[in-house]
Amino acid sequence: MKFTLSWLKDHLETTATAAEVADAMTMAGLEVEHVADPTVALAPFTVARIVSAERHPNADRLQVCQVETVDGMKEIVCGAPNARAGLTTIYAPIGAWVPGLGVTLVEKPVRGVVSNGMLCSASELQLSDESDGIQELPPEIPVGTPVAQLFGAEPVIDFEVTPNRPDWLGVAGIARDLAAAGVGTLKHFDIAVVRGAFPSPITVRIEAPEMCPVFAGRVIRGVKNGPSPAWLQTRLQAIGLRSINRLVDVTNLIAYDRARPLHVYDVAKLVGTEIVVRGGQVSAGADRIAAGTAEQIIALDGRTYAAEPAMCVIADAGGERPIGLGGVMGGVSTGCDEDTVDVFLESAWFDPIVTAQTGRTLTITSDAQYRFARGVDPASVVPGLELATRLILDLCGGEPSEVVLAGQAPADPTPFAFDPAYVKRLSGLQLEDDRIGTILGQLGFHIAAAPAGAAAPWTVTPPSWRRDVEGKADLVEEVARIHGYDHLPDTPLPDQGAPSRGVLNPRQARVRIARRALAAMGYAEAVTWSFTRRDIATMFGGGDERLVVDNPIASDLDCMRPSALPNLIQAAARNAARGHGDVALFEIGPIYLGDGPNDQRTVIAGLISARSTRHWAGTGDDALFTLKADLMTLLEQIGAPVAAMQLAQGQNLDWWHPGRAARLQLGPKTVVAEFGAVHPRVLKALDADGHMLAFEIVLDAVPEPKAKTGATKARGSADLPNLMPLTRDFAFVVEDGRAAGDLVRAVAGVDKALIAEVRVFDVYRGAGVPEGSKSIALEVVVQPREATLTDADIEALSAKVVAAADKLGARLRG
Amino acid sequence: MTDLATLELDLINAIGAATTVAEVEAVRVAALGKTGAISGLLKGMGAMSPEERREQGPVINGLRDRVTAAIGGKKAELEAAELDARLAAEHVDLTLPARPRRKGGVHPTMQVMDEMIAVFAGMGFAVAEGPDIEDDFHNFTALNFPPKHPAREMHDTFFLKPDPETGERKVLRTHTSPVQVRTMMSQQPPIRIIAPGRTFRKDSDATHTPMFHQIEGLVIGRDIHMGHLKTTLKEFVARFFELDDVDARFRPHHFPFTEPSAEMDIRCDRPKPENGGKLVLNQGDDWLEILGCGMVHPNVLRSCGIDPDQWQGFAFGMGVDRLAMLKYGVPDLRPMFEADVRWLAHYGFSAFSAPNPASGLS
C-alpha cells in the first residue's frame, strides 16, 4: 500500500520528513518497501517567463528566446512550436538532469547559438506521458516557483502490511501508531451524523448472516456525478489509483483513508427495491442451463465469475439477479457512471474467511477484497457510511435518505485481565505502569482497574479494529514495539556451556563423518531436490500415490523421491552435456518411503560417471572396484559392522546392472547398501549416456555401535603379537560361477585364531584350467599366537584349508 | 723376482683389469677359492717346518691380505659404478602428470549448516530433527495458524495428494518450525535446541527455490525474555560472520507462532562498484534482513502441552542457503541445487575444513 506525506498529515500533526516517517514506520512494524520522492528529481526545475522569441538565424524550426528565470535573464534556444513571448513555462538550468530525456544539460551551441538552459514539457519531467510542446502555465504564477510545488509532487511511501494488521490498510490507522510512537499528534475527527431527509426507498435483507452479519446503506438522490476535483484526483493518482468519477473516487478514498471499503449502486439500474445478501446459487436445471451450474456475475473488471454457494452474493430483483460479489467486487449491471442521479451507498462487513476464499477461488483481487479478507473494523460500518455521505454531498450534492441497517455487527473484542508486570517478564523492558498505560491508550485500548481480588490489576479491552489482540502477550508486543525494540536489554542466556558429550546424536555424527570422508575421497557434495518425476520415482521403487505432490512447481518435480540416485544420475548427465563427463558426486539426504513421520530415511548416495579419461600410464584400477573400496572405507569410517556384513549378488533391485551390482546386508532383511553399475535401461530413461557406477547406503539400516556401559571411552588393549606372521599360497580350481568371496570366507573360517587374512592374488581362466572353471589363487596370512608353528602345525592347517575349499567343490590346482 | 712376487703382480694386474664384479669374483676364486693359488700356498704351510713357517707365514699371509683388500676395493668400486649405471638407466620423466585425482568437496549450504551447529553447540543448543512431510497440525495449527487464515496462504504450501483412505492432505513443511512442536510435545522444558533441515515452498525465481534449508531455534525456560533473544542472536550473528560485534536492529514483525515477533537486520553496505562489489557488514546506511524471531506464542505452548504461565521462551528461524550466499559471496541461489561440478568445485569446501573453535569457523 502507498500513501503520501500530505495525506498522512491529514491525520497526524507532525513536522517529520518522509524519511523520518518511514523509519518510524519500520520500527513500529510496518515494512517500508520504498520511499519515492519525486521532488528530488524535480528540484532543479522552476517557473520562467518567455520575454521574447525570435527565429533562430540558422534554423527555421528553432527560436531564440529571452527568458526571465530564477537565475536572471537567459538566452535559450527552443524547438517547441508553442514557445512565444509572454508564455509562462518551465525552465531547466545548465547542469540539470532531465529525467524524460535521460540527459544532463550542458552549455553548448545549437546551430551556432549557445542555449543557456532548456524550456521543458511535462513529459520531459515525467509529469505526464505525452506533451504537445513546452508546458503552458497560468501567467499569474511567479517566476522562480519550484515546479515540484506546482504539480503537488511529494514523497510517496510504499509499504507492506502484515496480515494481522488490517487497520494499517488505512492512512488513519498508520497515523495512530505513529502518534503513539512519538512522531506527532493524532488528529481526531468526529464523524458527524448526516440526518436523512426521507426513508430509504431501497431496503436490505440478509439471508446469509454467516457471510455478512451487518449491512448498512442509504440512498442519496439527485447527485451530480462527474470527474473528481483536482485535489481528489491528485491524491488518488499519487498512490497509483485511477480516478474514475466522484462517487467511485469517494469509496476508494475512504478505503485507503480509513481501511473502510464501500460500494455505490446506481439506483436507476436496480431491479426492485430490495438488496438481498445471500450465498451463491446453483441452478436446479432450467432452460439451456445444466443443473449444478453456478450463477454468473459480470464484475466491474469486465470478467465473468461463477458465484458458488460458499461465496457471498449481493442480489436485487427479489434476490433473483446477482449484482455483486459481497466484499469483493460490484457488478457492471448496477455500476455508477456520469449519468447516475440516485445512488445507493453500501457499508457492510463481510466475513474474512469467506472473502479470502472467494478471492482465491476466483483469482479476483480488489482493494475491498484485500481489506475484508484481513478483517475490516466492524465498528466502522455506520461511521464509514456517514463519512462517505458527507463527502458525496460535498462533491455531488443531492439529498440523503435515512440509513437502513440490517443485521448486527460482530461482537466487540472481549476484555481480559492484564498485569503490567508481564511486560517486563516477557520483554525484559523495565517500564513504569503509566508508560505502559499511555502506550496502550494511544493505540485505542481501554484500560480499567480490575475488580478487587482479580488475578491481575488491569482489565484491558482491545479496540474494535484490533481483532488480532487476544491476550497478554499481544499487549506486550504493542508496548514493546511502540516503546522501541532498540531499548530491549542485553541479557545473555544462562551459561550452560557446550554439552560435554557434544550435541550430535550418533546418526547426525555419522552424517558429518560420511560427508567429510566422501569429500576427502574425491566426491563433490551435491544437494538436489527432494522431488523427482513420478515415473522416475516408480522406476526406483517409489511413486506411491501418497507421495505425489498435488501442486508441483513443475511437472517433472511431482513426486517425493524414493532414492537420491535419479537426481545424481540426471546431474551427472547434465554435467556430461556441458563437457564434464568424469564426475564423482555424492548427496546425503532424505528419501521418502511413505508419508508418515517415520517413513523418511537418510541415504548416503555416491555416483561416479565412469567416463574413462585417457592417461599416459594406462587406464588404472577398475572403476567398479575403486567404488567398492570407497564404499567399504566409508562404511568403516561411519563405524558400520563391516566384518559382519554379507555381500550378496544377483538380488539387487531393478535399477542396478544384474551382473555388475551387489548389496551389502546384515541378513536378508537388513540391506545396508547397494552398489555397482546402474542398469543401462534406467540410464537411457534418464537421458544419461555411458556408464555410471553408484552406491546408496540407507543410513538408518546401519546399526549404531552399542553404547559402552559406563562412562569410559577406553579402547581395551591392542592386539600386537610378537611372532612373525607367515603366508601360504593356495591355488584352487572352482567352477566359474562360484564367487571368490565364498571361497575366501570358507578359508578364513577354518581357524579364526590363526588365519589373520585371506587375500585373492590371482584369478585365472585358460590353458591348464578346465573349460567352465577358473583358478583362484589365495594368499593365507597366518598369525601364530603363542608359539612358533611347527611344520606339522602348518601342514595340519593347510589340510584344513584344502578340506574347507573342497566342500565348495574347489580342488587344489595340480 | 720370487714366485710369490710374480703371483701377486699377476693377481693385482688381473684385479685391476677386471671391468665387472663377476670378473673380480673370478679372480677371487682363482686366488682365494678352495683350489685358488693363495689358498694352495696357505694349505702348503701345514707341511712346513716351524722355521720355514715362521719365515714364509707372514709372507703368504701378507700376500693374502693385500690381494683380499685389492679385491674388496675393486669390487666396491665396480659395484658403485654398476649402481650408478643402473640408476642412470632408471631415469623417468617426472614432468609427466600424475594420475589425476578427483577433487571432492563439501557443499556450501552443508558447510554453513555445520558452522551454525558449531556456534550454537557452543551456546548449549542440542540438534533436533523432524520429518519433511508434515501434517497440517504440526506445520500450521499447532503453530497458531488458524484454519483458512491468510497467513497460511503466504506460505505457498506444497500439498501431497489426499490420502485415498483418510482424505488427509499432507504438506511439505514450509518451515522448520514444526520441529519446535515435536520437541515441545516430546520433552519437558527447559529446552534449548536448534533444528536444521529442508523446507519447501511453491516459489521459483531468482531468489527463491522450491526447496531450501532453514535452521530453527527454540529456547524455553522459566524466565527467558526478549533480552535473551536479542543477545543470543547478536552473539550468533557475530560469531557466524566472524565479527567482533554486530550492529543489529530488531524490527517488529508478525509471525503467527511468536508474540512479540521481530525480524533482525544487520547494518550493511550493499555490493556496489565503490566497495568492490562486496557486501560489507556493520557499515553503511542499509539494513540486511537476517532472520525472523520472537517469543513463543502462548497458544503454541498450550498446543504443545506446556503451561504458558509457567514457561516462556523464544524461537527463531533463518535461511541457511541465503546466509551461505551472504557469507561466501555466492551470487545466485538456483545453482546451489543444480550440482554443476564447476560450481561445486568453486564454492565447495575442503573435507578437512570442519568448523571448530581452534581454527575458527571457516
Residue B231 domain-assigned (yes or no): yes
Contact pairs from chain A to chain B, CB under 8 Å: 286
Closest alpha carbon within chain A to B297: A473
**Domain locations along chain A:** 2-37+155-186, 40-150, 203-285+293-407, 416-487, 506-701, 726-812
Flag whether pLDDT at A613 surpasses 90: no
Local structure of A633: helix, strand or coil = helix
Cell of B105: 568437496
Interacting residues of B139 by C-beta distance below 8 A, sequence separation 6+: B157, B171, B173, B174, B175, B177, B178
CATH number of B261's domain? 3.30.930.10
The one-letter code for the residue type at A150 is L
Cell of A714: 577406553
**Alpha-carbon gap, residue A35 to A3, rounded angstroms:** 10
Nearest CA to CA, how far is B291 from chain A (Å)? 15
Binary contact (A477, B261; C-beta < 8 A): yes
What global pTM score does this model have? 0.86
Which residue among B89, B118, B148 closes a domain? B89
Binary contact (A493, B340; C-beta < 8 A): no
Whether B133 and B275 share a structural domain? yes
The one-letter code for the residue type at A315 is A
pLDDT tens digits for range A168-207: 999 999 999 999 999 999 998 888 899 999 999 999 999 9
Closest alpha carbon within chain B to A355: B150
Flag whether pLDDT at A710 surpasses 60: no
Flag whether pLDDT at A34 surpasses 60: yes
Closest alpha carbon within chain A to B194: A503
Binary contact (B126, A503; C-beta < 8 A): yes
Binary contact (A548, B160; C-beta < 8 A): yes
Provide the CATH topology of domain A416-487: Phenylalanyl-tRNA Synthetase; Chain B, domain 1 (3.30.56)
Nearest to A509 by CA among B63, B121, B161, B279: B121
Nearest to B212 by CA among B204, B222, B221: B204
Where residue B61 falls among pLDDT bands split at 50, 70, 90?
confident
Binary contact (B260, A481; C-beta < 8 A): yes
CA distance from start to end of chain B: 88
Q: Is A478 assigned to a binding site?
A: yes
- Burial (CB < 10 A; 0-12, 13-18, 19+), residue B200, is buried
Interacting residues of B259 by C-beta distance below 8 A, sequence separation 6+: A473, A474, A476, A477, B294, B295, B297, B298
Nearest CA to CA, how far is A249 from chain B (Å)? 28
A373-403: buried (b, 16+ CB within 10 Å) or exposed (e) per residue? bbbbbbebbbbbbbbbbbbbeebbebebbeb
Number of domains in chain B: 2
Report the number of secondary-structure helices (H) and strands (E) in chain B.
Answer: 12, 10
Is the backbone of residue B155 left (phi > 0), alpha (psi -120 to 50) or beta?
Answer: alpha
Q: Residue A48 pairs with which residues in a beta bridge?
A: A89
Nearest to A257 by CA among A171, A189, A191: A171
Binary contact (A545, B161; C-beta < 8 A): yes
Binary contact (A428, B251; C-beta < 8 A): no
Where residue B150 falls among pLDDT bands split at 50, 70, 90?
low
DSSP assignments along A182-202, one per residue: TSSEEPP---PPPPPSS--SS
Closest alpha carbon within chain A to B191: A496
Please report the sign of the dihedral spanned by the C-alpha atoms of residue A277, residue A278, residue A283, residue A289.
Answer: positive
H helix or E strand, kind and range, residue A603: strand A600-609
Is the backbone of residue A398 left (phi > 0), alpha (psi -120 to 50) or beta?
Answer: left
pLDDT tens digits for range B325-338: 999 999 899 999 99
Binary contact (A519, B106; C-beta < 8 A): yes
Candidates A430, A527, A530, A592: best to mutate against B (most CBs of B within 10 A) is: A527
Q: For residue A177, which residues of chain B lie inside 8 Å, CB to CB?
A: none
**Alpha-carbon gap, residue A332 to A324, rounded angstroms:** 8
Q: Among A560, A575, A586, whose Cβ lies nearest the Cβ of B133?
A: A560
Among the residues of A489-548, which ranges form H helices? 506-520, 534-539
Nearest CA to CA, how far is B233 from chain A (Å)? 10
Binary contact (A549, B159; C-beta < 8 A): yes
pLDDT tens digits for range B290-325: 999 999 999 999 999 999 999 999 999 999 999 999
Identical fold for domains A2-37+155-186 and A416-487, yes or no, is yes
Candidates B132, B218, B226: best to mutate against A (most CBs of A within 10 A) is: B226
**Alpha-carbon gap, residue B27 to B19, rounded angstroms:** 12
Cell of B255: 509471525
Whether B49 and B130 share a structural domain? no
The predicted pLDDT at position A713 comes to 75
Candidates A355, A511, A595, A609: best to mutate against B (most CBs of B within 10 A) is: A595
**Alpha-carbon gap, residue A476 to A136, rounded angstroms:** 57
**Alpha-carbon gap, residue A594 to A532, rounded angstroms:** 15
The CATH code for residues A726-812 is 3.30.70.380
The predicted pLDDT at position A704 comes to 84
Pick the CATH number of A203-285+293-407 from 3.40.980.10, 3.40.50.2000, 3.50.40.10, 3.40.50.10490: 3.50.40.10
Binary contact (B114, A512; C-beta < 8 A): yes
Q: Are A381 and A409 in contact (CB under 8 A)?
A: yes
Find the Cα–Cα–Cα–Cα dihedral A340, A343, A348, A351, rounded to 10°. -30
Flag whether pLDDT at A150 surpasses 90: no
**Alpha-carbon gap, residue A181 to A484, rounded angstroms:** 8
**Alpha-carbon gap, residue B87 to B310, rounded angstroms:** 83
Flag whether pLDDT at A130 surpasses 80: no
Percent of chain A's residues with pLDDT above 90: 73
Q: For residue B125, which residues of chain A lie inside 8 Å, CB to CB?
A: 503
pLDDT top residue among B156 and A590: A590
The fourth-level CATH superfamily of domain A40-150 is: Nucleic acid-binding proteins (2.40.50.140)
Candidates B161, B237, B321: best to mutate against A (most CBs of A within 10 A) is: B161
Residue B37 domain-assigned (yes or no): yes
Binary contact (A512, B342; C-beta < 8 A): no
Binary contact (A571, B338; C-beta < 8 A): yes
Residue B356 domain-assigned (yes or no): no
**Alpha-carbon gap, residue A403 to A199, rounded angstroms:** 8
| Domain hosting residue B12, numbered range | 3-89
The one-letter code for the residue type at A203 is T
Local structure of A378: helix, strand or coil = helix
DSSP classification of residue A689: -
Average pLDDT over residues A642-646: 91
The whole-chain average pLDDT of chain A stands at 92
Closest alpha carbon within chain A to B352: A516
Nearest CA to CA, how far is A482 from chain B (Å)? 9
Q: Is A477 assigned to a binding site?
A: yes
Q: Among A480, A492, A515, whose Cβ lies nearest the Cβ of B106?
A: A515
